[in-house]
Chain A
């Protein structure tokens, strides 16, 4: 085999510029991915898979992984929400907090404890009822715990913000924002564990 047909050894002088160029390209694409994810383009936050491919090329998933690692020190992560079609193109990519905020921080952001409690109860109830519940049924359940005006106000607000979804049959379902921001499984477990924890600590 001739010397020209062999690949250059990794320590050769030509390999270093290649690696540097590759590194620079990755850095550039990671920066681009961050900008794309940070700036809101449409009505809802996040970027669909096909858009990411268009901005970053076919290796966009690897770039997203690198970005997610880079964002760790800032307390952020890239989160993937599967789309309705279940394809890579329909998957939505979002930047979100890696660690949950404290209750005080949530209050500072304009969420009252009562509002959060309504949302927590609603998400848990909808999930326990196979992902759908009629608005009337939901309101009648919440009435036992919250004042009527707060229920109306909170449910409407959360529908508007995408945490809940109301269809034409007046059925309340889980909205896209809940899928993106909330670990539903943990929520159900935590709610069920709440009483047990306080009982245990009381003992």
Chain B
């Protein structure tokens, strides 16, 4: 190792000392650590010892930053003494223990006993009235407000029948019957005489297919070929093949398909 490299590594170590000192001061300032943990005299001696070795302006700036951070610590120490001498000082450990031991009601009661809420009146100012008027004037009507963001989501909910689907060329009568039979067959195969989860059954590759399967299965149930049961506790919906004739307790229910 050459003399120059030894000198460089020594200088790096000294710079590291300064950077570590800055970091320590910052850490003390950003936490509730006792500022007297920092030995100001010792740190100043370190800085004084290293000072003659600095020849770069950047390093000198770091040195002055370290001094400035030490000043902040001295300021904190002063505040710490003032606070400790005040009547508000209580050993933090004792207080933490006390808070953990007493109930929430006791804490709230202590608070309420020394609470003097501010009495004030909020009033409408001419400026506030003007702001409200401008807001109301510029407000877009509700039915137009979300058009850009959500497309036709603002359309009112309604019913769509088979005739309308046929007129929209979504289904033909033959195709519809064929699809009903297919889905009924699938239900028979998958349920195997037992109840299965309705949502699992209608789930398709995408939301469109799920909606379509939900629509078709509604017809299968209406025709009395399948039955739906909702567990009142879990609200889980089950579907099964209808065996025998439907009872008199049949009723129409709406199921949201997501």
Please give the residue numbers on chain A whose beta carbons come within 8 Å of chain B beta carbons, in ascending order. 38-40, 45-46, 76-77, 79, 94-103, 106, 109, 113-114, 116-117, 119-121, 123-125, 127-134, 137, 141, 144-146, 169-171, 177, 180-188, 190-192, 194-195, 198
Q: Is A145 in contact with B104, judged by CB distance below 8 angstroms?
A: yes
Q: Is A194 in contact with B102, judged by CB distance below 8 angstroms?
A: yes
Q: Contact check: which of B79, B84, B117 meets A96 at CB < 8 Å?
A: B117
> Please, how many angstroms separate the alpha-carbon atoms of A102 and B101 in the complex?
23
Q: Is A116 in contact with B112, judged by CB distance below 8 angstroms?
A: yes
Q: Is B118 in contact with A94, judged by CB distance below 8 angstroms?
A: yes
Q: Is B107 in contact with A117, judged by CB distance below 8 angstroms?
A: yes
Query: Given A100-B116, A133-B32, A187-B114, A39 and B121 touching (CB < 8 A)?
Result: yes
On chain B, the residues within 8 Å of A171 by CB distance are 30-31
Q: Is A103 in contact with B108, judged by CB distance below 8 angstroms?
A: yes
Q: Contact check: which of A40, A79, A114, A195 meets B102 at CB < 8 Å?
A: A195
> Please, how many angstroms separate the alpha-carbon atoms of A177 and B101 in the complex?
27
B55 at the interface (CB under 8 A from A): no
Q: Is A117 in contact with B111, judged by CB distance below 8 angstroms?
A: yes
Interface size class of B (residues with CB under 8 A): 35 or more
On chain B, the residues within 8 Å of A99 by CB distance are 116
Q: Which residue of A is nearest B88, CB measured?
A: A127
A70 to chain B, nearest CB (A): 14
A140 to chain B, nearest CB (A): 11
Q: Is A116 in contact with B116, judged by CB distance below 8 angstroms?
A: no
Given contacts A45-B118, A109-B117, A141-B96, 13 further A-B contacts (CB under 8 A): A38-B121, A100-B115, A102-B112, A106-B115, A130-B32, A185-B87, A188-B95, A191-B95, A192-B94, A194-B98, A194-B107, A195-B102, A198-B106
Q: Which residue of B is nearest A46, CB measured?
A: B118
Query: Given A103-B109, A137-B31, A145-B104, A177 and B80 touching (CB < 8 A)?
Result: no
Q: Which residue of B is nearest A178, CB measured?
A: B115
Q: Is B108 in contact with A117, judged by CB distance below 8 angstroms?
A: yes
> Please, how many angstroms separate the alpha-carbon atoms of A24 and B7 in the complex?
85
> Please, how many angstroms separate the alpha-carbon atoms of A49 and B91 in the complex?
36
> Please, how many angstroms separate the alpha-carbon atoms of A188 and B90 in the complex?
8
On chain A, the residues within 8 Å of B88 by CB distance are 127, 184-185, 188
On chain B, the residues within 8 Å of A114 by CB distance are 104, 108
> Please, how many angstroms separate the alpha-carbon atoms of A76 and B119 in the complex?
8
A200 to chain B, nearest CB (A): 14
> Please, how many angstroms separate the alpha-carbon atoms of A121 and B100 in the complex?
9
Q: Which residue of B is nearest A35, CB measured?
A: B121
> Please, how many angstroms separate the alpha-carbon atoms of A190 and B113 in the complex?
8
Q: Is A191 in contact with B110, judged by CB distance below 8 angstroms?
A: yes
Q: Which residue of B is nearest A71, CB measured?
A: B119
B27 to chain A, nearest CB (A): 10
> Please, how many angstroms separate the alpha-carbon atoms of A201 and B115 in the complex?
24
A136 to chain B, nearest CB (A): 9
On chain A, the residues within 8 Å of B92 by CB distance are 125, 128-129
B122 at the interface (CB under 8 A from A): yes
Q: Is A128 in contact with B105, judged by CB distance below 8 angstroms?
A: no
> Please, how many angstroms separate the alpha-carbon atoms of A181 and B109 in the complex?
15
Q: Is B104 in contact with A40, judged by CB distance below 8 angstroms?
A: no
On chain A, the residues within 8 Å of B115 by CB distance are 100-101, 106, 181-182
B131 to chain A, nearest CB (A): 15
Interface string of B67-100 (1 = CB under 8 A from A): 0000000000001100110011111101110111
